[in-house]
Structure 1
Amino acid sequence: MFFLWSFKLQPCPKISKPFIIALLGPALFHTIGHISACVSFSKVAVSFTHVIKSSEPVFSVVFSSFLGDSYPLKVWLSILPIVFGCSLAAITEVSFNFQGLWGALISNVGFVLRNIYSKRSLQSFKEVNGLNLYGWISIISLLYLFPVAVFVEGSQWVVGYQKAIETIGKPSTFYIWVILSGVFYHLYNQSSYQALDEISPLTFSVGNTMKRVVVIISTILVFRNPVRPLNALGSAIAIFGTFLYSQATSKKTVKKNEDNKNI
């Protein structure tokens, strides 16, 4: 983000104390969501983590309902195949363990609460676009994470670095992989926020569903993870449920926008 702001590729937002305070909560949930996702990736197959993460709409509906939002019956019905599909995928997953499962579930909770409180706490900062909002959430998240990482794992960094170099073979390869991982992760989020500004919610939801399919299939091909037929069926049902949820909620959003225009 500093690179984009420095070279005027992205307008730098005006920062104020209320703006930073409003981001403290969303950034904390973002940190929790990202750490737990990485923990899950380290414990189970990447494809399985993404299947479980496709259940994020379930948490979104439940937490939003507790906070006062209401959803039509078809939205609630759309989360049933998500729950069933994820459950079927979990009980048939070859690499299954509870640490990986709980990591993915906690990640869902963290990112859902980040999204909910981002909308609720930033109503007064609508002039900040999505990319700048995500950039500052990431920066504050770094400030949260760095001292914790030093305290919890600081004594293991040297040993871990040496093992990584031994496994990969060359220090330069290790650095390139770490840098590319960070760059691609940021570009993925950047493109998502920019796409949401340019296309309809329905089109975005379809693309987001296809993203899950591409990621899961790609990780299976790259890492050669064994997939049982019932596991593949459960994954497909969960992703299909995510698509149904996306359609149901996008229609709800369109209707809400039309009602606001009429008012």
Structure 2
Amino acid sequence: MAMAAAMAMAAAAALSRATTMVIVAAWYASNVGILLLNKYLLSNYGFRYPIFLTLCHMAACSILSYASVAWVGIPPLQRLRTRARAARIAALGLVFCVSVVGGNVSLRYIPVSFNQAVGATTPFFTAVLSYIFTRRRETWYTYAALVPVVAGVVIASWGEPSFHFFGFVMCVAATSARALKTVLQEIILSSEREKLDSMNLLLYMAPVAVILLLPASTIIEENVVSITIALAREDFKIIWYLLFNSCLAFIVNLTNFLVTKHTSALTVQVLGNAKGAVAVVVSILIFRNPVSATGILGYTLAVIGIFLYSKAKKRKD
């Protein structure tokens, strides 16, 4: 009996490890996949409508997150009980829009590899904004770990053969907005009564993003719907690209939730850092964008800084 129980426990542990590995693989594939497909659509394919593309993402996230949370129950639905709480979610939705649109706009002008290098400075912006809004100070070694991150991105920018100033500015804006969302989320949803898991947060934020992006896309990207229909008549693959790309946006969020559930916040942070490096290598292999030794040195320095930052945060906690 004891041996049978031990074998059952070992089998359960092996199944749990295998499940976690599959989820992490799906998380990596969806994250890298949406980056590459966004780049292909916005730059190589010539679909130059990043706001509309983001609108498609958010519409898919609205529909699929509702199906997942409200119908399937993965995870259980968490209701908004007050208008104040709904207003806070709306504010997060606005910042979320800026971060996603900025990232997509940047991919029109700069390679995925450089986009990910700039995105590596998210911890720096998070630390700065956290101090501005909450006066929370990190330890000196946590701030010291951010020095190679920033220095690495500066070096990577200097050595980037495909550097584009506007693309760089939009990528920095997206990165800082992503950090601001993290800080605001911690501030306004910090109490146990208001805390939402990532999927329920997406359920409420995505419709807000759709409401904000619809007029923005209509005004800024004039006739985008008729242009997309015209493109589809010439090449119907654009519809499949948009549908698949939009579903990937939801899968990114779903797998992020599942990875956090099956591992830990620190593991997610470490895996996320490694994911950026994977995206850089894969994008260079696929798009064959030129890279310089200086750029590689800068990105490597940034990755080392992120690793040191993760270690410093773990030491503090």
TM-score normalised to structure 1 length: 0.87
Aligned match of 1:249: 313
Q: Give yes or no for contact 1:81–1:237 (8 Å, CA) kept in 2.
A: yes
Distance 2:229 2:293 in 1: 38
Select 2:189's aligned residue among 114, 118, 122: 122
Per-residue CA deviation, residues 76-123 of structure 1 (Å, 9 max, x unaligned), is 111111111101111111111111110110001111111111111123
The equivalent residue for 1:7 is: 72
**Does 1:50 find its partner at 2:116?**
yes
CA distance in 2, matches of 1:20, 1:122: 11
Q: Distance in 2 between matches of 1:81 and 1:37?
A: 23
Task: Give yes or no for contact 2:90–2:208 (8 Å, CA) kept in 1.
Answer: yes
Q: CA deviation at 1:161?
A: 5.1
1:200-250 Cα deviation digits (max 9, x unpaired): 333222111111111111111111111111111111111121121122123
Decide whether aligned partners of structure 1 residues 176 and 61 sit closer, same or farther in structure 2, where only a CA change above 3 A counts. Answer: same
1:152–1:200 CA distance, 2 compared to 1 (3 A)? same
Q: Is contact 2:66–2:203 with CA below 8 Å preserved after alignment? A: no
* 2: CA distance, partners of 1:110 / 1:144: 16
Aligned pair 1:147/2:186, yes or no? no
Give secondary structure in 2 for the equivalent of 1:104.
helix
User: Which structure 2 residue ranges, 5 or more long, are not aligned?
Assistant: 1-64
Rate the CA distance shift 1:50–1:161 in 2: closer, same or farther, 3 A.
Answer: farther
What one-letter code is carried by the residue in structure 2 that aligns with 1:187? I
CA spacing shift, 1:232–1:161, aligned 2, 3 Å: farther
Asked if the contact 2:110/2:162 (under 8 Å) is kept, the reply is: yes
SS in 1 for 2:108: helix
1:6 counterpart letter in structure 2:
W
What SS class does the counterpart of residue 181 from structure 1 fall into? Answer: helix
The residue aligned with 1:100 is 167
Q: How does 1:27-176 map to 2 (within 5 A)?
A: 27-67=93-133, 68-124=135-191, 125-126=193-194, 128-159=196-227, 162=230, 164-165=231-232, 170-171=235-236, 173-176=237-240
Tell me which of 195, 203, 222 is aligned to 2:259.
195
Partner of 1:212: 276
1:236 maps onto 2:300 in alignment: yes
How far apart, CA to CA, are the structure 2 residues paired with 1:248 and 1:146? 42
- Aligned partners of 1:161 and 1:230: how far apart in 2? 43
CA distance in 2, matches of 1:136, 1:243: 33
**RMSD between aligned residues:** 1.9
Can you give the 5+ residue segments of structure 1 that lack an aligned partner in the other structure? 255-263
Between the aligned residues of both structures, percent identity stands at 21
Report the equivalent of 1:259.
none
The separation in 2 between residues aligned to 1:8 and 1:196, in whole angstroms, is 17
TM-score (norm 2): 0.73
How much has 1:160 moved relative to structure 2? 5.4
Would you say the 8 A contact 1:26–1:113 is kept in 2?
no
Which stretch of the first structure deviates more once superposed, 59-68 or 7-16?
Answer: 7-16
Kindly indicate whether the alpha-carbon contact (under 8 Å) linking 2:157 and 2:163 is maintained by their aligned counterparts in 1: yes
Contact 2:159-2:292 at 8 Å conserved across structures:
yes
For the Cα contact (< 8 Å) 2:113–2:284, is it kept in 1?
Answer: yes
Task: Provide the C-alpha distance between the structure 2 equivalents of 1:116 and 1:250, rounded to a whole number of angstroms.
Answer: 18
Pick closer, same or farther for the CA change 1:161–1:74 going to 2, 3 Å: farther
Aligned residue type for 2:169: W
Deviation for aligned residue 1:26: 1.1
